């Protein structure tokens, strides 16, 4: 994790926010809307993922509002940024604000660390509520995106038995190529326990190999 950085003094209770979007006009509009609220302050802006990490490191906000499409023509930059914020700045809550409303993308954003997912056509009240929710450690999804996440977690797209939250964590690390020992160290469990979870994952996904489990999970939107 980068070394702590000293940000500007902010009144106690104020939610410090960074805006990440490749459209300057949209960022300006968001800033004006959010700063109408007495408990919200925009402390930084960025148009790219790399610039965003620098701004977040220097300001240490409570919330990062992230558009998934950052000029590359796909949602990948925003997803990578969510994952980087999750890994480097766990105290910062990533909130996705995007035009994408696709089940696979919503689930991938959650897997990447997004604590909320808001579509850009929401009204200001919903956006402000989402910022406050993720800042308080809660999640922020509207009815459409919440149902997408729940369906994916339950595996309703297949006949497979639903995976538990811990099994999803193990599966994610499995997809990164980690061994049982490495998974155990990451999740603070023993290698034997990690192996037990993997056995359950294989059984529930009805496969016999780890690579098959990753493939099937990815098809179901679990990764």
* Domain boundary pick from 154, 177, 195: 154
d(CA 106, CA 59): 27
User: If DSSP codes are grouped into helix, strand and coil, which group holds residue 163?
Assistant: coil
d(CA 118, CA 123): 10
Q: Which has more confidence, 9 or 183? A: 183
Local confidence band at 197 (pLDDT 50, 70, 90 cut-offs): very high
In this structure, are 116 and 37 located in the same domain? yes
- Residues 147-165, mean pLDDT to the nearest whole number: 62
In this structure, are 115 and 197 located in the same domain? no
* Domain boundary pick from 154, 175, 193: 154
Local confidence band at 159 (pLDDT 50, 70, 90 cut-offs): very low
In this structure, are 107 and 64 located in the same domain? yes
Which pLDDT value is given to residue 158?
47
Domain that holds residue 187: 165-220
Q: Which of 19-23, 105-109, 141-145, 164-168 has the highest mean pLDDT?
A: 19-23
How many domains would you assign to the chain? 2
Pick the closest to residue 101 from 64, 162, 143 (CA basis). 143
In this structure, are 54 and 115 located in the same domain? yes
Pick the closest to residue 221 from 144, 163, 138 (CA basis). 163
Say if residue 149's pLDDT is above 80.
no
Local confidence band at 157 (pLDDT 50, 70, 90 cut-offs): very low
Give me the CATH number covering residue 185. 1.10.10.10
In this structure, are 81 and 116 located in the same domain? yes
**The Cα angle at residue 49 between residues 67 and 166, in degrees rounded to 5:** 75
Residues 2-17 have pLDDT tens digits of 555 544 456 678 999 9
For the chain, the maximum distance between any two Cα atoms, rounded to a whole number of angstroms, is: 56
Residue 4 lies in a domain: no
- Give the end-to-end CA distance of the chain in Å, rounded to a whole number: 24
With contact defined as beta carbons under 8 Å apart, do 157 and 220 qualify?
Answer: yes
Say if residue 134's pLDDT is above 70.
yes
Residue 132 lies in a domain: yes
Residue 9 lies in a domain: no
With contact defined as beta carbons under 8 Å apart, do 111 and 74 qualify?
Answer: no
Give me the CATH number covering residue 102. 3.40.50.2300
* Domain boundary pick from 96, 121, 154: 154
Say if residue 42's pLDDT is above 70.
yes
- Residues 87-116, mean pLDDT to the nearest whole number: 88
């Amino acid at each position: 994790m980068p070394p702590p950085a000293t940000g500007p003094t902010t009144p106690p209770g104020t939610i410090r926010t960074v805006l990440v979007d490749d459209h300057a006009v949209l960022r300006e509009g968001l800033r004006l809307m959010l700063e109408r609220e007495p408990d919200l302050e925009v402390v930084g802006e960025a148009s790219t993922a790399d610039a965003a990490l620098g701004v977040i490191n220097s300001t240490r906000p409570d919330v990062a509002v992230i558009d998934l499409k950052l000029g590359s023509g796909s949602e990948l930059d925003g997803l990578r940024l969510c994952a980087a914020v999750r890994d480097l700045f766990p105290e910062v809550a990533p909130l996705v604000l995007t035009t994408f409303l696709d089940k696979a993308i919503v689930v991938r954003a959650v897997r990447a660390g997004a604590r909320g997912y808001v579509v850009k056509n929401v009204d200001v009240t919903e956006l402000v509520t989402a910022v406050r929710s993720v800042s308080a450690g809660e999640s922020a999804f509207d009815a459409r995106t919440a149902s997408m996440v729940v369906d994916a977690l339950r595996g309703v797209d297949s006949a497979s038995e639903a995976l538990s939250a811990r099994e999803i964590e193990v599966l994610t690390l499995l997809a990164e190529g980690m061994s049982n020992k490495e998974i155990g160290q990451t999740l603070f469990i023993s290698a034997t326990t990690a192996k037990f979870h993997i056995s359950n994952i294989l059984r529930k996904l009805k496969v016999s190999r780890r690579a098959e489990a990753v493939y099937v999970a990815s098809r179901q939107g679990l990764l």
